[in-house]
């Protein structure tokens, strides 16, 4: 079943200096810089609140997600159609992958700590932390799911700050940078999540080791609240 070790990847997220005498070495904020920081915090708060309101009205999502991961010198990439239903039902159909043996694989996760994987005529149910269904960096499917991404953004411990705007697929998106909270992926020092300016939902998630992007999930063709049959989550 090595071929089923598919890219389950699947939003996170500044080092805090403490200790005797540190304060004397830190730059003193001027009133204008303090005002700028408060404005950035308020801007991040407004984006997070917009995500919260959209999330409350979202019961299902479908779309396409492209994954990239790096571990040391090894990299992996794949693309999958995904179907999500609240609270944590997920199906992924792998359409592209580095290895031909991974293409066409299907995964179903129902939030119960188990994954059913099917590739051709081979079908197997296993724990979600089985090495066969972990990503290159060892991430579980629930750690990179839409539920985890959004709840990570909404977690007050995320300490989100507004890091500017970016263009994704020709549309403006707010960039939130996080260094704490439930959305942090293991091994990442910070996370950046791009929030689409129109849908107010994540369209890209990146995890960093220092300044290097080691995880990316980019979402496209997203449809919100589509009618998804229960049969879709059976293999």
Where do the domains of the chain lie?
A: 7-14+32-223
| pLDDT band of 108, cuts 50, 70, 90 | very high
SS (H, E, C) 27-74: CCCCHHHHHHHHHHHHHHHHHHHHHHHHHHCCCEEEEEEEEEEEECCE
User: Which range (29-43, 90-104, 116-130) has the least confidence?
Assistant: 29-43
Instruction: Report the chain's C-alpha Rg in angstroms.
Output: 19
| Residue 103 region by backbone torsions, left for phi larger than 0, else alpha for psi between -120 and 50, else beta | beta
What number does CATH give the domain 7-14+32-223? 2.50.20.10
Q: What is the pLDDT of residue 99?
A: 77
Residue 73's contacts (CB-CB under 8 Å, 6 or more residues apart) are: none
- What pTM was computed for the model? 0.81
DSSP assigned state of 146: H
Q: What is the structure's pLDDT at 90?
A: 96
Buried-exposed string 27-51: b where 16+ CB fall within 10 A, e elsewhere:
eeeeeeeeeeeeeeeebbeebbebb
Asked if residue 191 has pLDDT above 60, the reply is yes
Does position 221 have pLDDT exceeding 70, yes or no? yes
Higher pLDDT pick, 196 / 100: 196
Q: Quick one: pLDDT band at residue 84, thresholds 50, 70, 90?
A: very high
> End-to-end CA distance of the chain, in Å?
17
User: Of how many residues is the chain composed?
Assistant: 235
Is residue 230 pLDDT above 50, yes or no? yes
Pairing verdict, β 161-168 and 122-127: unpaired
* Chain Cα centroid distance, residue 97: 19
Classify residue 129 as left (phi > 0), alpha (psi -120 to 50) or beta. Answer: alpha
Q: Could you tell me if 105 and 3 are in contact, meaning their C-beta atoms sit under 8 angstroms apart?
A: yes
What is the Cα–Cα distance from 26 to 21, expressed in whole angstroms?
A: 10
Angstrom distance (rounded) from CA 69 to CA 88: 23
Cα angle value 70/126/83 (rounded, 5°): 65
pLDDT digits (tens, 9 = 90+) for 15-33: 323 333 433 333 444 444 4
CA–CA separation, 113 vs 121, rounded Å?
23
Burial class (CB in 10 A: 0-12, 13-18, 19+), 135: buried
What is the rounded CA–CA span in Å between residue 45 and residue 195? 13
């Amino acid at each position: 079943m090595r071929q089923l070790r598919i890219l389950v990847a699947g939003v996170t997220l500044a080092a805090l200096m403490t200790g005797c005498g540190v304060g004397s070495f830190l730059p003193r904020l001027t009133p204008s810089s303090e005002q700028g920081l408060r404005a950035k915090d308020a801007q991040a708060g407004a984006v997070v609140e917009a995500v919260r309101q959209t999330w409350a009205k979202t019961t299902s999502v479908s779309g396409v997600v492209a994954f990239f991961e790096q571990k040391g010198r090894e990299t992996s990439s794949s693309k999958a159609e995904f179907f999500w239903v609240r609270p944590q039902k997920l199906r992924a159909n792998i359409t592209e992958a580095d290895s031909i043996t991974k293409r066409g694989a299907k995964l179903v996760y129902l939030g119960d700590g188990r994954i059913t994987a099917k590739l051709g005529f081979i079908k197997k149910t296993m724990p979600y932390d089985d090495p066969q269904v972990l990503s290159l960096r060892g991430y579980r499917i629930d750690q990179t799911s839409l539920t985890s991404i959004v709840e990570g953004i909404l977690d007050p411990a995320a300490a989100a700050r507004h890091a500017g705007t970016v263009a994704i697929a020709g549309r403006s998106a707010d960039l939130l940078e996080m260094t704490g909270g439930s959305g942090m992926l293991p091994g990442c020092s910070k996370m950046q999540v791009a929030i689409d300016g129109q849908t107010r939902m994540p369209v890209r998630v990146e995890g960093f080791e220092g300044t290097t992007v080691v995880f990316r999930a980019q979402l496209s063709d997203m449809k919100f609240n589509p009618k998804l049959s229960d049969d879709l989550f059976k293999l």
